Amino acid sequence: MSLTQASTFECPYCMTINDLEVDEINDIGQTQVTDCQICCQPIVVTIRESDGEIDIQAEQENE
């Protein structure tokens, strides 16, 4: 049994789809900074739960 769920989000810099493993117990409601897997720019990622689905909001770090 996996404790994480594979999710994706779009990089706000280069629009490439990035992968993110989300821990449904500890990551919901958290904000973290991660680097784009392609362009390496810093992305502020906010993880929420909406109607039983994981919602990832990705923004440029300096917005």
pLDDT at 14: 98
Average pLDDT over residues 26-40: 95
What pLDDT is stored for residue 62 in this prediction? 84
| In the predicted structure, residue 32 carries a pLDDT above the cut 90 | yes
Q: What tokens were used for 59?
A: 């923004």
The pTM (predicted TM-score) of the whole model is 0.84
Instruction: Tell me if 43 sits within 8 A of 35, measured CB to CB.
Output: yes
Q: Which residue has the higher pLDDT, 63 or 6?
A: 6
Q: Classify residue 35 as left (phi > 0), alpha (psi -120 to 50) or beta.
A: beta
CB atoms closer than 10 angstroms to residue 42: 12
- What is the three-class DSSP state of 25? coil
